[in-house]
Amino acid sequence: MNPMKHSVSGRLPWLACTAALALVCAALRKWQLGSAFDEGTGLPAPGAQASVILVCVIVMAGAWFVLLSMYQPMTRRPWSPGQAHRWDLVFLDAGDPVYPVLVVAAAALALAAVPVLFIVGVGQFQRYQELLDAGLQTPSNNGMLTLATAAGAFLAALGLLQMGRDGLRPGRRGKGGFSAALPGVAGCVWLMESFRSHAANPVQWDYAPQLIAIVLGMLFYMDFAGMSAGAARPRRLLWMAGMTAILSAVSLVSTAAELSTPDVSLCSAQMGDLLLLLSQTLAAAGVLWRLPPNLENPPRFQHTPISPDPGETVIQEETTDE
């Protein structure tokens, strides 16, 4: 692999904006939790300032990331023989440890969520069975979705480990990026479990940020996988990564606030959510670290004639075959 020189400028706007907006949104969420809900009932106060401002900032963040994506410099490269897709190596950089460290840390967090969720799921299943055996009214939750979420977290950890490995090993082709589909699919189970656990909650603010964060995470991972499956959407992937980090930060604040609940089972479930949210935030940060400079100056193998066409070094155009 040829050594690549990546300018910091490519990733700086993305990382700086994402970090700043995530902090602002997290602070707003904390303010909202303290001011926008009735103390006794927990019901939302209509027209609360914090809620309105938080929504506005999230929408503005989305619009700002659209602009950043549109003006993200990107190199068009010709097709090369044997290369699956022009963007399937775009996460490769053997000389840069940051991306693999972030993604492997994300994998570790997902893996840490497995036993937590497994114990919660087993507890819920046992309680359900006890009530069933006693002939009493059973709760709507029998623990199976929580157990499935634990299994999904394990698959996600495997996928994330593979993603980190593919970003570090120069000898591998880039098809390993397809492993990003694993956390994406696992996110479906997590989403169902999260929706189920809040299905009877009339306060949408309690769970909507988390559901949206999970949805964005799922779509982010699927776009990541698409980079190596002939369906690349690099600009959309950058947008997804930024928004995943921001919504995850918002959701992390409320999840962390609920960790102090006296209900041990609920507390453990929140811990599982917390670990998974942190995991997808780190993965998104890894993508924002690696992708912008590599889109400007894509990595390649030796003897692979993929130098840009003359006069076509940098263009402002989506380059996919879809």
Partner 1 sequence: MDENLEEQRAAGAPEPPSQPEGQAGPPSGAQVRRDASAGRDLYMNVRVLVTMMAVFVLLFTFVARVIVVSGPSMENTLWGGDLILVWSLGYEPKQGDIVVLTQESYQEDSIVKRVIATGGQRVDIDYGSNTVCVDGEPIREDYIREPMLTPGWGEGINHVVVPEGCIFVMGDNRNESADSRYPAIGIVDARCVIGRGMAVLFPFRHWKGL
- The residues that touch partner 1, with contacts defined as CB under 8 A, are 41, 43-44, 78-81, 83-85, 139-140, 175, 178, 181, 184-185, 187-188, 191-192, 195, 199-204, 207-208, 211-212, 215, 218-219, 222, 225-226, 229-231, 305, 309, 321
Q: How far is the CB of 193 from partner 1 (least distance, A)?
A: 11
* Identity of the residue, 44 or 170, whose beta carbon is nearer to partner 1 in the bound complex: 44
Confirm if 270 and 255 have CB atoms less than 8 A apart: yes
What residues have CB less than 8 Å from 67, skipping those under 6 apart? none
Please, what is the minimum distance in Å from the beta carbon of residue 237 to partner 1?
13
Cα dihedral sign, 150-248-48-208: negative
Q: Minimal distance in Å, beta carbon 115 to partner 1?
A: 26
Dist CA 26 CA 249 (whole Å): 6
SS3 235: helix
Name every residue whose Cβ is closer than 8 Å to that of residue 90 and which is 6 or more positions away in sequence.
174, 227, 234, 290, 291, 294, 295, 298, 299
Minimum distance from CB of 104 to partner 1 (Å)? 24
Taking the complex as a whole, how short is the minimal distance between the CB of residue 248 and partner 1, in angstroms? Answer: 15
- Residue number with CB closer to partner 1 (72 or 83): 83
Dihedral (CA of 9, 294, 229, 112) sign = negative
Residue 230 CB, nearest approach to partner 1 (Å): 3
**How many residues are given for the chain?**
322
Give the DSSP H/E element, type plus range, for residue 313. Answer: none
**Which of 167, 184 has the CB closer to partner 1?**
184
How far, in Å, are 5, 94, 194, 288, 307 from residue 99 at the CA level?
Answer: 15, 10, 29, 9, 24
Q: Please say which residue, 181 or 252, places its beta carbon nearer to partner 1.
A: 181
**Shorter beta-carbon distance to partner 1: residue 97 or 139:** 139
**Closer CB to partner 1, residue 91 or residue 178?**
178
124 Cβ contact list (under 8 Å, min separation 6)? 141, 142, 143, 146, 265
Q: Which two tokens stand for residue 239?
A: 């947008």
Provide the residue type at 77 as one letter. R
Nearer to partner 1, 77 or 108 (CB): 77
* Shortest distance, position 97 Cβ to partner 1, whole Å: 28
What are the tokens at 189?
Answer: 């189970």
